Structure 1
């Protein structure tokens, strides 16, 4: 039932109002402006009937005081007064009144105007409620879009992750933008690693991460929640339980984040397996190339030795033949000069052997770098 506050210093007028409206509304009465403001605070009326001319604080001043606390759409005020000139009504309008009724009071007019203004008030309340709901939905959508953007960025940041540490860094980048403090455990078939957004992870948290992965998909305790997935467990240490809507959005985002982590872990595992196969192939290639080049080096070295020995023996035999043939010194020098190409060939062979050694070392170094 709507509450109406009637303010008038004449009891006759109050009785008329009681007879006209008493059976439809909950009425309260005040006989002065000061009493009206007191009742206004305690009764919280839905509409005020207000006389203008009263001893002490008049109706215009009461109306202005009320308007400091409640707008015209929220609380209708009807002046009920014998002062009905245009100037009087303009003063009432300026003070914040919604309507103006002259005295003597016509009860049907009073009832009609009261009903109309209360209907408008109800309509305003419904519209305001709808607008508030729309605003809330709009703000929620904006927040959700922004938060979802961080999750999408996680996909981008995590795609190039080559190991657990890089994946954990991408997770923390997303959860930091959601204002979450988290710890994470990432697992594969042969190892597990723990990480914290606060850099240092306490021993108990590490133990909880290992134990919790054997529990359900989601484990909650007060403002702490654990989300389990294949190869990943996320411990959230500050869920915003005081904001149920935000809390619900974060749960949705974490569910998406968890599935994305599972996919990235499989991708990291596949990359590591491919890298291991490639490294094995490179190791094998290093051994084969090294063996073949060492064989070439040995062959060149053997040729160089044979060439050197042949050159020395040939030079010695030539000197002996020159002595037996009684060749003079000038002729001996001419014969030895003819042997210089063989000497150059020996030197070239030694340089080739050294160059092959450098080539072998360079190839082995390059293949080892490819392995990493």
Structure 2
């Protein structure tokens, strides 16, 4: 692997990102039952934590979403032996990345080309994953790969398995992908060239890996919405404070109607989006099918935040664009939310289908 990080370096990095000691901080273990080494709790607690982290450091919040999504997958589908990883994940001693997206299969996740073959009693995996968070620090990557051809070409989800692959091996190359926003999240390309994994590293049922991610993907979308919520609230707090202090024509600019209207509309948009997210969170914690609610909430929260950071930038004007300003960071980070982890166009397609309007893709 070309990341150049030893396991001890990765663990130290994770502890630095989580806090002095993530075991005492406790947040990294939310969603992991206490008997498995976690902090307990569910989607509601994870939403609060994600939103509050995103107010200060959106890139760190994306790391937290990855950990929460991975933990949910192990809790729901891992064998007792596989679930032993959860204590390390909750404590910051183990980092597990998630490999779904590919160059030709982001929104269309079932277009993946990564293949896993049984060779000499182990998996041999070849393919390429793109837009993968924290892969350069990860001890393992939990990835989707095609292990079997579908018996019906129209059912592309069949034959796709979820496999835990150790990262520290010569068959894996990791390359950082610099982004304009979320710079500290560690977005990577992962190239697998006959990477190996034990046959027993399949999570859930072989050939039904994508089906098993339903709850994990719903949590990812809800917590993505939580990131948007945190960014939007922080941007508006900064903009309102600036509008109260900055004077023009003998009074604070917040006293001007044009500035007030933009800020009020943006506050209403972010607040309304939060209500949609909270509805999806309740559905997840109640064990109700939450995919449609989570998808709708993700899209609306991202759109509301895009408006909020734009209003914040316009309110602060040149000061908002200054490199020393937090507003320019929030403005850049918010752009990712419009197309990750699923594009808002695709989110609308899925939402329309959930309304019974027919598949549009």
Place the TM-score, normalised by the shorter chain, in its bin.
under 0.3
- State the structure with bigger RCO (CA 8 A, min sep 6), 1 or 2: 2
Higher-Rg structure is 1
* Richer in helix (by share): 1
